[in-house]
Amino acid sequence: MKSLVLLLVGLVAGALLATTMIGALSARDRYPKAVMVVMQANLAALQRGLRVQDCGLPTAGRHASQLAALAMEIEPAFAALERDSSDFVRSRELFQRAVGGLLREAPTDCAALNRSVTAIAQACDACHNGFR
């Protein structure tokens, strides 16, 4: 009887631990993807603005600062790649510089915004070519 109770306790504890671990692992897996998905949304919003020639001037600043904040999240989100690959670090730094360019010269016209957004999209692709 006592061993049966112990067995049950063990099973319940094991199941709880497994659930917690699966949750933690999938949360860890979702974080880097989430950073990317939100960056995609901000980039797409800027590109949409350019297509309709509205150049999103009122909201361009918001998307730019959101991209800049997320660019800072790449390092913690992809810690293993950051540690193991100097190419990844270089790609991330180039991307951050492209985003910095957009932030620094607040785009006042379509051509300037177009240049910055194109540079950012190219920096996304450059990293994806090697690491996605």
CB of 42 closer than 8 Å to CB of 73: no
Candidate residues 60, 64, 113, 123; the one interacting with ligand HEC per rule CB under 6 A: 123
The minimum distance between CB 131 and ligand HEC, in angstroms, equals 4
The minimum distance between CB 126 and ligand HEC, in angstroms, equals 7
CB of 76 closer than 8 Å to CB of 115: no
Taking the C-alpha atoms of residue 74 and residue 26, their distance in angstroms, rounded to an integer, is 18
In the stretch 44-83, what mask flags binding to ligand HEC with x, by CB under 6 A?
Answer: ------------------------------x---------
Angular region, 38: left φ>0, alpha ψ -120 to 50, beta rest: alpha
CB of 74 closer than 8 Å to CB of 92: yes
Give me the residues that bind ligand HEC (CB under 6 A), please. 32-33, 36-37, 39-40, 43, 74, 88, 91-92, 95, 120, 123-124, 127-128, 131-132
